[in-house]
Structure 1
Amino acid sequence: MGVDDKFENKAEDLGGRAKETVGDVTGDDQLKAEGATDQLKAKAKDVGESVKDLGASVKDKFSK
C-alpha cells in the first residue's frame, strides 16, 4: 500500500470520527451515522490494500 493510500484512508477515518463526534454532540443521528460509515469505508480500504499487498508478496515468492 502506498503512502498516498495510507494518508487518504487515515484522513477519511479522522473525518469520519469528527463527523460522528459532532453528530453525537449535536444530536444529529444522520451525521453520526455518516461519520461511522466513513470510518468503516476507510477500514475496508485498508484491508483491501493489505490483501492486495499480500497477494503481490505471495506472487513474488512463487515467481522466483
Structure 2
Amino acid sequence: MSVGQTIKRKAQEFKGRITERIGRTTRNRRLQREGRTDRVSGSLKQAGAKAKDAFRR
C-alpha cells in the first residue's frame, strides 16, 4: 500500500469522524449517516489493503 493511498484513507476516516460528530451535536441524522459511511468506508479500504499486502508476502 502506497503512502499516498494510506493518507487518503486516513483522511477519509478522519473526515467521517468529524462529520459524524457534527451530526450528533446538531442532531442531524443525515450528517451522522454520511459521517458513519465515510468512516467505515475508509476503515474497510485500509483493512482490505492490509490483507492484500499480507498475501503478497
Q: What is the Cα deviation at residue 35 of structure 1?
A: 0.3
Structure 1 match to 2:17: 17
- Please report the RMSD computed on the Cα atoms of aligned residues, expressed in angstroms: 0.7
Q: What is the Cα deviation at residue 33 of structure 1?
A: 1.1
Q: What TM-score do you get using the length of structure 2 for normalisation? A: 0.93
* 1:15-35 alpha-carbon deviations (Å, 9 max, x no partner): 001100110111101111110
How far apart, in 1, do the equivalents of 2:55 and 2:5 lie?
A: 17
For these two proteins, the number of residue pairs brought into alignment is 57
Rg (Cα) greater in structure:
1
How far apart, in 2, do the equivalents of 1:50 and 1:5 lie?
A: 12
Q: Which runs of 4+ in 1 moved over 2 A?
A: none
Query: What SS does structure 1 have at the residue aligned with 2:5?
Result: helix
Q: What TM-score do you get using the length of structure 1 for normalisation? A: 0.84
Residue ranges of structure 1 left out of the alignment (5+ in a row): 58-64
Residue ranges of structure 2 left out of the alignment (5+ in a row): none
